[in-house]
Amino acid sequence: MYALVQHEIVWASESELTWTAADRALSAAQDADAPEALAGAAWTLGMVHRSAGDTDAALSLATDAAALLEPRLEDGTDDLRGLAGALYLHAAATCARAGRDGDAWRHWDKAATLAQRLPAGYYHPWSMFGTANVALHGVSLNADLSHSAEARTHAEQIDPDDIPSRERRGRLGVEIARSYHQRRDYPAMLHWLEQAYQTSADSVRYSPTARQMAAEAVDHGGQLIKRRARALASSLGLPL
């Protein structure tokens, strides 16, 4: 219940309330003394740490929880393997956010290998972990590491229809927009933000990065895209 609450309020509530829900999720999992519950709670709390800029704590939570599951992977359920894969991706994203290129791809490789062991079309019900989510994280890692060309190369390999979550399909558009933002290609950036907004408005409306890019499109995009940029900014509730 606490994990569900955290995923709901992270979009639209004060950060203190998000911290409280995530921390209580971990406490409840510790009381339950169930490895899978502990790993899921660590995945949840780690995201809160990462969003607050505490990459060391986020990485420790993800790697410690993954280590807890690893001895159980061979004989465990698909969902247990899916949760372990989500933790590997969590570690990869955290390392990329900290600029640790090699560590990011080492964790991503572990996630990709694990995803190949899961049934075709599988995705973890909490984290959406599966082959499509691994591919999406490849785009995100390259964007975080400022490898804009590589981000677009990864994106070109993804069929959006293979991503089971509308929110994640919207996030793909935001990640591609980030790769163009790094080149200051505002028309292309705006195009992908618009695509993301059409796919999942919340993926753009509640993303600080997407909101910043939309604001920059208004301020720096020029006359060619001014009307479209202002329309998107207005939809996001940004001051004009």
The pLDDT tens digits for 181-211 are 999 999 999 999 999 999 999 999 989 899 9
The pLDDT, as a whole number, for residue 13 is 64
pLDDT bin (cut points 50, 70, 90) of residue 179 is very high
The pLDDT, as a whole number, for residue 171 is 94
14 DSSP assignment = -
Q: Which two tokens stand for residue 177?
A: 């927009």
- Cα distance between residue 172 and residue 170, in whole Å: 5
119 DSSP assignment = P
Angle of helix 186-199 versus helix 226-235 axis, rounded to 10: 40
The pLDDT, as a whole number, for residue 17 is 86
Q: Which two tokens stand for residue 87?
A: 């933790």
Segment 80-105 shows an average pLDDT of: 96
pTM over 0.75: yes
Could you read off the pLDDT of 110-160 as tens digits, one per residue?
999 999 999 998 999 888 999 999 999 999 999 999 999 999 999 999 999
Distances (CA, A) of 108 to 105, 114, 115, 171, 192: 5, 10, 10, 18, 25
- Does the pLDDT of residue 80 top 70, yes or no? yes
The least confident of 17-26, 90-99, 101-110, 190-199 is: 17-26
CA 6 to the chain's CA centroid: 15
Higher-confidence residue: 174 or 40?
Answer: 174
- Does the pLDDT of residue 11 top 80, yes or no? no
pLDDT bin (cut points 50, 70, 90) of residue 12 is low
CA 13 to the chain's CA centroid: 19
The pLDDT, as a whole number, for residue 135 is 96
Q: Which two tokens stand for residue 126?
A: 């909490």
Segment 59-78 shows an average pLDDT of: 94
**Are the CB atoms for 94 and 130 separated by under 8 Å?**
no
- If one counts every other C-beta atom within 10 angstroms of the C-beta of residue 179, the result is 25
Domains annotated on the chain, with CATH: 1-94 (1.25.40)
**Are the CB atoms for 229 and 214 separated by under 8 Å?**
yes
Q: Which two tokens stand for residue 196?
A: 């993301």
List all residues 6 or more positions away from 131 whose beta carbon is below 8 Å from its beta carbon.
115, 116, 118, 162
